[in-house]
Amino acid sequence: MAGCLTLIIHIALVWCCFNNTPAYCLTTVTDRLALMSFKGENNLYGKIPSGLFNISTIHYLSVSSNHLDGTIPFDIGLTLSNLRTIHLCLNSFTGMIPNSLVNASGLEGISFWDNEFTVPIPKDLGKLLHLQLVSLGNNRLQDDLSFISSLTNCTNLQYIQCGGNLLRGSLTESIGNISATVEFIELREYQVQGSIPSGLGNLVNLTFLDMASNQLSSPIPETMGKLHKLQELHLGGNSFTELPSSLGNLTLLNRLHLEQNNIYGSIPSSIGNFHYLLELNIAYNNLSGSIPPEIMSLSSISISLNLTHNRSTGALPLEAGSLTKVVELDFVGTCGSYVVYERY
Ligand SMILES: *[C@@H]1O[C@H](CO)[C@@H](O)[C@H](O)[C@H]1NC(C)=O
Ligand SMILES: *[C@@H]1O[C@H](CO)[C@@H](O)[C@H](O)[C@H]1NC(C)=O
Ligand SMILES: *[C@@H]1O[C@H](CO)[C@@H](O)[C@H](O)[C@H]1NC(C)=O
Ligand SMILES: *[C@@H]1O[C@H](CO)[C@@H](O)[C@H](O)[C@H]1NC(C)=O
Ligand SMILES: *[C@@H]1O[C@H](CO)[C@@H](O)[C@H](O)[C@H]1NC(C)=O
Ligand SMILES: *[C@@H]1O[C@H](CO)[C@@H](O)[C@H](O)[C@H]1NC(C)=O
Ligand SMILES: *[C@@H]1O[C@H](CO)[C@@H](O)[C@H](O)[C@H]1NC(C)=O
Ligand SMILES: *[C@@H]1O[C@H](CO)[C@@H](O)[C@H](O)[C@H]1NC(C)=O
Ligand SMILES: CC(=O)N[C@H]1CO[C@H](CO)[C@@H](O)[C@@H]1O
């Protein structure tokens, strides 16, 4: 371990003056390097020295949270064929995500989140059978959603994060055929249309699902009620009109966001089942009736209860007294008055 660290420090020093360092130096001193990590504190800027991409022994490469730019060599998956993890997130890389990544067949983690990658998502990522994490969000990727279905053979998949791109299209039932090991799906701020496929209910290990700010519409499938492990559900900013009656089965939810849809009817009292709920936002819908006392008696809510801009009427139920930790309680009555309760 100590020897390994010395080697890494050495690399960091070489990197700091790489502008004047022949790139081959990197390869000669590092022919046994396996792990290379330059996280944000390094404040690296400029381009990755091309010699680094020749160090075929590297299996862990992380340069996340720097100011790096430039493109990634198209053949990276061939020259770094032993890669298991590549984290380039939070930089300013441009160009394409190289198709050759598929050739580094041991890859488990790919994080390109928050860069400026522009062209389509490699179609063959699903050939990386050991893949656990795919994070491509906040780029300028223009594509449809077919790559998600292409991941069906990745039996260890846990994390898919792709929001904040220029992707469009609709989800197909085949999303239900990806591995049920998946725990995290984030497809926020796409232009996803259509409805949520009922197959999504197969992904019973999901703890986090974020499909906010798309163009999704009802119905939300009843099968969502099978996602018993779900802790966060973000469906705000879509065009849903109805909630599934099985919603109340998601008893581990701690964050529920349904704001800015067109959900009508009464506020489901089954939300009262969510004894771990920290935050509830159902603002800007078309909900009517009174606020169920079951919600007001949820003592877990400690971040925010936001019921603004709806048709809900009636006095705040007496049980509001249970909301001892609420920081923000926010609702608009029929007269449009705006009330924010703050308690600490
Ligand atoms: C990388 O390796 C290739 C093939 O061995 C060689 O042609 C190239 O010069 C090397 N690049 C660097 C920057 O060392
Ligand atoms: C890289 O992977 C692609 C797609 O699987 C394959 O067609 C190609 O033959 C591979 N190239 C090498 C050099 O292994
Ligand atoms: C999954 O693997 C099977 C068997 O190798 C293959 O026929 C199928 O095309 C693969 N599916 C995807 C989506 O790559
Ligand atoms: C999902 O997988 C099943 C069994 O392998 C298959 O019969 C079905 O056609 C697949 N569905 C989709 C939408 O790919
Ligand atoms: C769900 O996750 C647990 C723990 O990671 C795992 O043991 C189990 O096999 C997973 N279930 C499915 C259906 O993949
Ligand atoms: C929701 O819970 C009820 C009562 O436990 C159960 O009958 C129903 O099958 C569940 N629905 C789903 C989709 O899991
Ligand atoms: C609100 O819901 C009612 C049904 O409860 C419906 O008649 C009305 O059109 C909805 N309003 C909007 C703005 O969608
Ligand atoms: C309540 O939610 C709406 C919609 O997301 C938001 O605009 C508003 O700022 C929230 N209110 C508070 C007090 O956070
Ligand atoms: C009374 C009230 O504020 N109703 C609002 C409920 O939310 C919908 C959608 O934002 C608004 O159109 C209603 O005016």
Q: What is the DSSP string of 189-211?
A: TSEEEE---GGGGG-TT--EEE-
pLDDT higher than threshold 80 for residue 200? yes
- Helix and strand totals (H; E) in the chain: 5, 24
pTM, entire model: 0.85
Give residue 42's region: left, alpha or beta (phi > 0; psi -120 to 50). alpha
Q: Which ligand is located closest to the Cα atom of residue 183?
A: 5
In sequence order, the β-bridge partners of residue 86 are 61, 110
In terms of DSSP H, where are the helices of 158-301?
Answer: 293-296
**Closest CA to ligand 5's atom 10:** 181
What's the gap in Å between 118 CA and the centre of ligand 6? 43
Q: How far is CA 186 from the centre of its chain?
A: 3
Q: Which atom of ligand 5 is nearest to the CA of 179?
A: 14
Residues 49/15, Cβ–Cβ less than 8 Å: yes
Q: Which of 28-42, 225-239, 268-282 has the lowest mean pLDDT?
A: 28-42
Q: Is the pLDDT of residue 21 over 60?
A: no
Which of 336, 337, 256, 250 is CA-nearest to residue 303? 256
Pairing of β 264-266 and β 255-257: unpaired
Q: Is residue 327 within 6 Å of ligand 8 at its C-beta?
A: no
* pLDDT over threshold 50, residue 177: yes
Q: What is the mean pLDDT of residues 303-318?
A: 63
Residue to probe by mutation, ligand 8, list 188, 235, 303, 330, most atoms within 8 Å of CB: 330
Identify the residue with better confidence: 289 or 158: 158
User: 3-class SS at 304?
Assistant: strand
Is the pLDDT reported for residue 25 higher than 70? Answer: no
For range 122-141, the mean pLDDT: 92
Q: Which ligand is nearest to the CA of 78?
A: 2
Which of ligand 6's atoms lies nearest the C-alpha of 222? Answer: 13
9: Cβ contacts below 8 Å, ≥ 6 apart: none
Average pLDDT, the chain: 81
Q: pLDDT class for 282, splitting at 50, 70, 90?
A: confident
Å from CA of 54 to ligand 2 middle: 18
Instruction: Please enumerate in sequence order all residues whose Cβ is within 8 A of that of 277, keeping only pairs 6 or more positions apart, or say none.
Output: 253, 254, 255, 256, 271, 298, 300, 301
More confident residue, 95 or 37: 95
Q: Is 173 in the pocket of ligand 4 (CB under 6 A)?
A: yes
**53-69, pLDDT tens digit by residue?**
888 888 888 888 888 89
Q: For residue range 80-90, what is the model confidence (pLDDT) as tens digits?
A: 999 999 999 99
**144-157 pLDDT per residue, tens:** 888 888 999 999 99
Task: Respond yes or no on whether the N-terminal peptide bond of residue 219 is cis (omega within 30° of 0).
Answer: yes
How many residues does the structure list for the chain?
344
Q: Is the dihedral of CA 255, 259, 262, 268 positive or negative?
A: positive
Give the count of beta carbons closer than 10 Å to the beta carbon of residue 2. Answer: 6
List domains and CATH numbers for the chain. 253-344 (3.80.10.10)
- Name the nearest CA neighbour of 242 among 223, 226, 266, 276: 266
Could you tell me if 150 and 178 are in contact, meaning their C-beta atoms sit under 8 angstroms apart?
no
Q: Which atom of ligand 4 is nearest to the CA of 177?
A: 1
Q: Where is average pLDDT lowest: 189-193, 259-263, 326-330? A: 326-330
Q: Which atom of ligand 4 is nearest to the CA of 173?
A: 13
- Give the confidence band of 19 by pLDDT, cuts at 50, 70, 90: very low
Give the pLDDT score at 1.
33
* 227 within ligand 6 shell (Cβ under 6 A): no
pLDDT value of residue 333: 36
165, 142 contact by CB (below 8 A): yes
For residue 257, which atom of ligand 8 is closest to its CA? Answer: 5
